[in-house]
A and B are shown apart, each in its own frame.
Chain A
Amino acid sequence: MSTQVPEQEAEAEAETEVEQEPERPPVSAHQQRRLAEKRERASMRQRAEEELSEADESVEIKVFRYDPEVEGKKDPRFDTFAVPYEKGMTVLDALIYARDHFDSSLTFRHSCRQAICGSDAFFVNGRQRLGCKTQLSDLEWPVRIEPLPHADVVKDLVVEMEHFYEQMEAVEPYFQTNEVPKGDLEEQRQSRENREKIKMSTRCIWCAACMSSCNIAAGDNQYLGPAAINKAYRFAMDEREGADMTEHRLNLVEQEHGVWRCQTQFSCTEVCPKDIPLTEHIQALKREAVKKNLKFW
């Protein structure tokens, strides 16, 4: 992961150039700014080419491009960018470089750059990975970057997340209980063992890599998906929620399109960037559901 802020490019040269154009008709401040930005971009490109020729090593990235709103970009294609490689460079760093220096219309989500916000899950070299957590040195070059499979593409690498969020919200992913301790200021304690049990499941960052990798979720739109079931596990296994709530949660996930859809293909567990044992959690909820319904007395 690289969290360093890229060096600020000098902007002074672009600004001085604006004043040296007397024959042009007077332009608005807004237009002037846009022209300046355009030149700035052009010089960024020039600088990038210089950097490329100076760099010891450059990495080629093939990026999926698609824009339904622009004529001529409606047909999906792959664009290739050469990016000067630096030690510790991630897939996201390369994408940011390509966008800043070559094509400002290249669109992708990113925010924290340290695998916490969960915005930059891509399909990199045929596998769902977090852009900011994937080192270019760990990949085969040229690196192929596509949007998440089994999700609608909005533009370039941006996919529609609404369905994923709906499934996450369907399991009520928040703490709720009707068992409150009696004392006025008494805390709601959790045992260490119980915390250990749910520890991994709390790490989910809602990046949707698991949902995208899941074969069942691809074919069954109503399936809750690994991330949502993991959320359900996180609260159903939390002792502080009380028996009533646990039963309510199990009712939510033991439906036809809930835990029973899982066929233990382990795809989700393998792609999870936070190493959550998703299949294990789904299987645990299956056992709880069976225990709840099977009574021999």
Chain B
Amino acid sequence: MSQSYDRGLVEDFGRWQEFSAGMWAWVLHKFTGWVLIGYLFTHIAVLSTATVSGEVYTETIQGLESLLVVRFLEVGLLGVAVFHIINGVRLLFVDLGVGLENQDKAFYAALIATAAITVASIPTFLMGAF
């Protein structure tokens, strides 16, 4: 009888503008999760080549820490990890069925806490980098 067709724009990625808190939490949780997995593999790959002897290890770490971009990446990594942890706690509560009416506020709280912790970490990570 009648056919349907692809509605294009109605259903495409432009809809991110209409996302609500729960959806953003999901998107960010997935994103940070993949970043952490990527980091863990790099972490193993890099450090496994550095565990030959104490000197090589120290040299590798010092070499990495002398790069400015690594210092900034560390701040980013902390932010990603902190968000993933806090939102993970929020998801635990969601799984337990506790406070589901406040899940959006919990997400905003997670964002604020992440921002605060990340900003507070900047002096530690960037000390002596410049």
Contacts and interface: CB of A to CB of B under 8 A. Distances in A.
Interface of A: 66, 68-69, 76, 123, 126-127, 146-147, 149-150, 152-155, 160, 215, 218, 263-267, 269-270, 277, 279-280, 283-284, 286-287
Q: Which 6 A-B pairs have the closest CB atoms?
A: A266-B22, A152-B4, A126-B18, A265-B26, A280-B100, A154-B2
Interface string B14-44: 0101101111011000000000000000000
Interface residues of B, number: 25
Contact of A153 (B5, B26, B104): B5
B11 interface: yes
5 contacts: A127-B18, A215-B23, A264-B94, A266-B103, A287-B96
B4 A265 contact: no
B100 A270 contact: no
B95 A283 contact: yes
Given A150-B11, A160-B4, 11 more contacts: A66-B5, A146-B10, A149-B15, A152-B4, A154-B4, A264-B26, A265-B22, A265-B23, A265-B25, A266-B22, A277-B101
B30 to A, nearest CB: 9
B100 A277 contact: yes
A263 B7 contact: no
B82 interface: no
A286 B100 contact: no
B100 A68 contact: no
A147 B2 CA distance: 15
Given A146-B10, A150-B11, A284-B97, A68 B2 contact: yes
Contact of A280 (B2, B17, B97): B97
A278 to B, nearest CB: 10
Contact of B11 (A149, A265, A277, A279): A149
